[in-house]
Amino acid sequence: MGSVILPSMSILKALLLVSVCALSAAVPPPPSPPVAPLLPGEALAISGPDGLVYRFGDASDEFPMGCMADLVWLKLEGSEWGAMNVQFNCTGKFQGRACWLPKGHGKVDLAKALAANCDLAFMSWAQESVKWWLRDLGEGPARAMLDDTFAPFLGGRLPPGNELPPMGPAWVGDGDLLRTSPVDMLRWLMDPAQDETVRRTRRLLLSFNQANYKEGMWWVETGTAPVIGSRDGRSAWAAGGNGQILAVLHLAQGMGKIDAMNRFRAIMRVPPDK
């Protein structure tokens, strides 16, 4: 899979190339290319039907993945959790851990937890999944499955062995165990092995808009992540697509979930919700 680094090319020009490729592939063109420049500390990776990755800013730099871990859990357990219609009552605290939203998110299902980036819900469901794995697979095979799924984001930081680690905050992205870059996260999403994960993410995030659903609608997942070397610092991520374009954006320290959504929409020219 190719990659293009274009330090002198604007995001506008790069997405124009993506648009041309989309047209040449006889598919509807994507929304109008963006005009918003990146802010200091932002890093962006974009792909289109040409299969190339366009990089802007320090898009190959690695950061704690934070909310992007939710997408990996959707790959691993999304089918099971969806079939079971998992629920969680987020009161703002769980096992001594605080939610990023102090008052909590209330009762959430999988779609609401993903949209709200409710890490406590994902941590609770992950802990339940471990119980099922131990019962149905045994610890060794379960550990192998976990290692295989999260391998692109572990970087050798998980000690080898056959024991399952505790499913604490680190496994939902709160810590520096799981790391990625905009480019690496984008390549993971582009991999055909993730096609069903991308489809599931899109269905869940657009579930509240089915009445107004149109082909080419954008899904966007946003949330925060820790900052290495900073006890309380947070950065933010956004990832999204419209069926033709995929993009991953990392924002600088001090930016939050709402900032990530606003910046992604501005950069990628995502139409406002109706």
Model pLDDT for residues 94-134, shown as the tens digit of each residue? 999 889 889 999 999 999 999 999 999 999 999 999 999 99
Verify that 78 and 138 share a domain, yes or no.
yes
The verdict on residue 273 lying in a domain is no
Q: What is the pTM of this model?
A: 0.86
Burial 157-171 (b: 16+ CB within 10 A, else e): ebeeeeeeeebebbb
* Rounded-to-integer distance, Cα 47 and Cα 1, Å: 11
The verdict on residue 242 lying in a domain is yes
* pLDDT greater at residue 55 or residue 23: 55
Over residues 27-49, the pLDDT tens digits come to: 444 433 444 689 999 999 999 88
Verify that 131 and 191 share a domain, yes or no.
no
The verdict on residue 274 lying in a domain is no
Determine contact, residues 64/175, Cβ cutoff 8 Å: yes
* Rounded-to-integer distance, Cα 190 and Cα 239, Å: 12
- Among the residues of 180-245, which ranges form H helices? 182-190, 195-205
Q: What is the pLDDT of residue 219?
A: 94
Q: 3-state class of 1 per DSSP? A: coil
Mean pLDDT across 203-224: 78
Domain that holds residue 156: 69-172
Verify that 137 and 155 share a domain, yes or no.
yes
Task: Give the distance from CA 195 to its chain's centroid.
Answer: 14
Q: What is the pLDDT of residue 24?
A: 43
* Rounded-to-integer distance, Cα 165 and Cα 143, Å: 8
Of 133, 149, 172, which residue constitutes the final position of a domain?
A: 172
* Rounded-to-integer distance, Cα 129 and Cα 73, Å: 10
Number of domains in the chain: 2
Verify that 158 and 185 share a domain, yes or no.
no
Mean pLDDT across 77-104: 94
Both tokens assigned to 55: 């990089």
Q: 3-state class of 224 per DSSP? A: strand
Verify that 73 and 163 share a domain, yes or no.
yes
* Rounded-to-integer distance, Cα 34 and Cα 15, Å: 8
